[in-house]
Copies of this chain bind each other. A is one copy, B any other.
């Protein structure tokens, strides 16, 4: 790997926030913590190019040399996520505009419109200048393009670009009118010039319009990325290139689609929950990253620098690029992580294939908007719990250098950016519909039951997956229907939840009974929906409970697994199962509550012949196994506040201790066993 075979460890390093005398201390402390990779320059545009075309690289030269002398490698960022004030002042038309027509001002980050040529030109210029100067710097390990692409705009330049994109997508206006169903409310377009971005309008907007606007932005931001990537690549083809994803289905980025354009997938992960929710979010984020990374590695292997003798990890290439050393911000306040959690969360990412653990940021700043964001060196300085844990983490990561290979998983969850966007539109049968929440609920059910999950996108290869889950996969085009049919006919097990297949790729409802695209495969037909109120639930005949959604389901070949108990749907099917080809297709017409969902996950997994990662692990102990060639490594995480004992055999790497019969995990503890090889 490009960090000399070691797992990456470090974070965002912003030396421009500090006087030069602090830099030497930084390198000393980094070495103390065994930091080996830092991301430099993410927000340094205004320091690197203080006036148009005038570059001041001297300080960055000094920083990079200092780091190199200290043995620390650099992920060098292009600083294009935060244009300097002079840029905004010179190009007010490149400032972003909201749906209401409000032009935003400089004063934060991301104050640009990525569809504005002036911005794109300036971004390429500064990236090219960096490439010119540093593409062969010995500290350079990775290019980090931009930061968290996700900003959209409604300006006139955007509208023009949107029209070009629509023309390329739909070919002619007749196709666009058909795709968007503009016959509703008389919105038929007779000239491309009539189409604007979905600006604030009088009443409900057109769902096809909204969906294509998201897709347009994903493609536009991707183009902004690839044009930087191409010039960095040209400067030195040996250096891998990435950009850090920000997660959340509000982000107008189709991460799966982007993954084929990066050399490794990099994610920023900040759980929005504390306690158990954070562990589950961590597991899901890492599974998502690994799923996306499968697209990346299949096309462009990570380049291995010449100075390393370790063969590259053949597993999907991804990296936790940002996480918080300490606080989780949620519900209006920061939650301080208890001792040990930083290590546990970091290794939970490594267990799922991350090439290390990176943090935002190295040193807490005195000012700026995120002055209270946590850091490896906090306001209190190195004499602090957080920095001591950072040192401990550096040691732990070093001891895991040998781990490689992909995660073993037989259950795959289908994730689809467009379905996530389409379920955020107005005019749906319920305002509580959320593809990402359904993915999360399904993942949680399998996670709690002890099964490892992969994530896939529609159309991905499904070899090795015995159970494929569609969690509210609202948009299903004909190709996806074929993909599912083939999987089932090959003996696969499918578990689809409500709304899956209801609409086509343009978010048009499929007719003839719900769920239009999947009726035949699932052997059911629904006529009417019965969404539930926020505080409402239904009972199932097997004692389970469920929420959010129910529907009038009729059997059309399937058999009943469980039915509703009470209410207007009393005794009607809730969960069904259907033999399709050599496979089995389950349909879940509601959202089971956690305990119910976990039982359902167990039932479906067992039917599919899937077993838990570590059947003997007690509740609250998470197990993940990576395997490469004839070796395997078992990661065990004790998320409980009690000591736990797990039968196991091998060598525990963090303590370098042989394990004969069982490993004992303290509360919040982690163990990594080399089982074989």
Q: What residues make up the interface of A, taking CB atoms closer than 8 Å to B?
A: 14, 16-17, 43-47, 50-51, 79, 82-86, 88-89, 96, 100-111, 151, 180-191, 193-196, 198-209, 326-327, 331-336, 338, 364-373, 378-381, 384-386, 426-432, 506-514, 525-534, 552, 568
Pick the most buried of A106, A180, A202: most chain B CB atoms within 10 A of its CB. A202
In the complex, what residues of B have CB within 8 A of residue A568's CB?
Answer: 336, 338
Besides A111-B202, A207-B371, 9 other A-B contacts (C-beta < 8 A)? A16-B183, A47-B183, A79-B186, A85-B191, A106-B187, A108-B203, A184-B370, A379-B509, A379-B514
Query: A88 to chain B: which residues have CB within 8 Å?
Result: 194
18 pairs, CB–CB < 8 Å, chain A vs chain B: A46-B186, A82-B187, A96-B202, A101-B103, A104-B200, A105-B196, A109-B202, A111-B201, A151-B202, A183-B365, A327-B429, A332-B431, A336-B530, A365-B509, A372-B509, A379-B512, A384-B527, A386-B527
The listed residue (B47, B105, B430, B506) touching A200 by CB distance below 8 A is B105
Find A201's partner among B79, B106, B506 (CB 8 Å cutoff): B106
Q: Are A82 and B367 in contact (CB under 8 A)?
A: no
Residue of B with least CB distance to A193: B89
Q: What is the CA–CA distance of A478 and B153 in the complex, to the nearest angstrom?
A: 44
Q: A184 near B426 (CB under 8 angstroms)?
A: no
Set B109, B184, B188, B334: member contacting A429, Cβ < 8 A = B334
The residue on B at minimum CB distance from A551 is B336
Chain B CB count within 10 A is highest, among A45, A46, A530, for A46
Given A47-B188, A202-B111: A367 and B508 interface contact (C-beta under 8 Å): yes
Q: How many copies does the complex hold?
A: 3
In the assembled complex, which residues on chain B have CB atoms less than 8 Å from the CB atom of A514?
379-380
Residues of B within 8 A of A332 (CB): 430-432, 534
Interface SS of chain A: helix, strand, loop or mixed?
loop
> Do B201 and A108 touch (CB < 8 A)?
yes
Q: How far is the CB of A614 from chain B (nearest CB, A)?
A: 30
Which of B335, B364, B426, B528 is close to A326, meaning CB atoms less than 8 Å apart? B528
Determine whether the beta carbon of B106 is less than 8 Å from that of A194: yes
Q: Is the CB of B16 within 8 A of A533?
A: no
Q: Known contacts A44-B186, A336-B528, A428-B372; is A367 also within 8 Å of B506 by CB?
A: yes
